[in-house]
Amino acid sequence: IFSPALEDGAFLPLYVSQEKRTLKQRIQAVYNDKMRYSNLRLIQVMCKEEPYALHVNGELDDVDGITPQSLYEAYQKAVTEDQLDIYVVGDVDEKQVNSYISKYFEVNERELRPVPKLEQIRAKEPQEVVEDADVKQGKLNMGFRTGTHFTDDDYPALQLFNGLFGGFSHSKLFINVREKASLAYYAASRIESFKGLLMVMSGIEVGNYQKAVDIIKEQFQEMKKGSFTEEAIDQTKAVIKNQILETLDTPYGLVEFIYQQAAAQTEFSLEDWLGRIDNVTKAEIIEVGKKIDLDTTYFLKGTEGAS
């Protein structure tokens, strides 16, 4: 990390060209996977005036402009200024680990910068975007603004809302859109904890577009009205807690749990998190739902099954 291979004060051109090719392949892979692509397009449309619209791997057209020199300058800025977190998980000797870190990670102390709240630009009216593509199955994605973030007190209630709405196999979207109405090959929802988004992903026949949109909106309104039982809440709490415990059962999951808190500059124990989920009431789930609004409907329109 701190002793990279250099040539004339920059990265080796051969290595840079290899990495650029790999990055291009990674970016292109999203375009080839229409499920991932439709989710990318939803975010690009929904957050078009926000930094969040930029994909994690960047844009294909920008890769060619990277030079060994410009990349080395970006690297120097990162290792001297960016927040650096080191996680070591396992049956290790703490003193030995500290000595290795002191020896091999010779970096200057840096101040912890405050975490900016990610910008939110809500649409005045829900927008709808339909794009044609050579796909057999239409991809219907819907983006909602929740107004709730990872560090907010009502975040556990949002987790429950999402679980009841579309997060699990007992959720409204799975049962009513996929099973009962047979309108979708898959239908699920997920939340983006730092950005405060809730996104619905579904695969449908093109001819079922309006029916699918209507029933997803209907299930969303049912959630906002509180049309779910205490039994469903208990079931959702159990599934969420099991998910958390499963995640923390792996070294990677444990690091992810700790890093999420470091990134948010907050700190709580596993017991606190599980307790907060346990304590969520039906009234709190309804309350957090009142803040959620539909922002964007994006449909990647396939050709098969079109009427």
Residue 58: give its domain's CATH number.
3.30.830.10
Residue 151 and residue 266 in contact, taking contact as beta carbons nearer than 8 Å: yes
Is the pLDDT assigned to residue 306 strictly greater than 60?
Answer: no
Query: Is 55 part of a structural domain of the chain?
Result: yes
Domains held by the chain: number: 2
Q: 55 and 178: one domain?
A: no
Quick one: pLDDT at residue 303?
A: 66
Above 80 in pLDDT, residue 117?
no
Residues 208, 92 within the same domain:
no
Q: Kindly state whether residue 14 falls inside one of the protein's structural domains.
A: yes
- Determine, yes or no, domain membership for 228: yes
| Domain annotation covers residue 111 | no
Q: Does residue 116 fall inside a structural domain?
A: no
More confident residue, 193 or 236: 236
212 in a domain, yes or no? yes
Mean pLDDT of 268-291: 95
In a shared domain, residues 157 and 291: yes
Instruction: Indicate if 194 and 283 belong to the same structural domain.
Output: yes
Longest dimension (CA), the chain: 69
pLDDT band at 305 (very low <50, low <70, confident <90, very high): very low
User: 143 and 57: one domain?
Assistant: no
Euclidean distance between CA atoms 236 and 90, whole angstroms:
31
pLDDT score recorded for residue 85: 87
| Per-residue pLDDT at 184 exceeds 70 | yes
Q: Is residue 84 part of a domain?
A: yes
Residues 88 and 179 grouped into a single domain: no
Q: What is the pTM of this model?
A: 0.89
Q: What is the chain's mean pLDDT, rounded?
A: 91
Residue 61 included in any domain: yes
User: 240 lies in which domain range?
Assistant: 127-301
Q: Which residue has the tokens 């020896």?
A: 103
Q: Stretch 100-126: mean pLDDT, rounded?
A: 79
Of residues 14 and 178, more confidently modeled: 14
Same domain, 55 and 169: no
Q: What is the pLDDT of residue 119?
A: 67
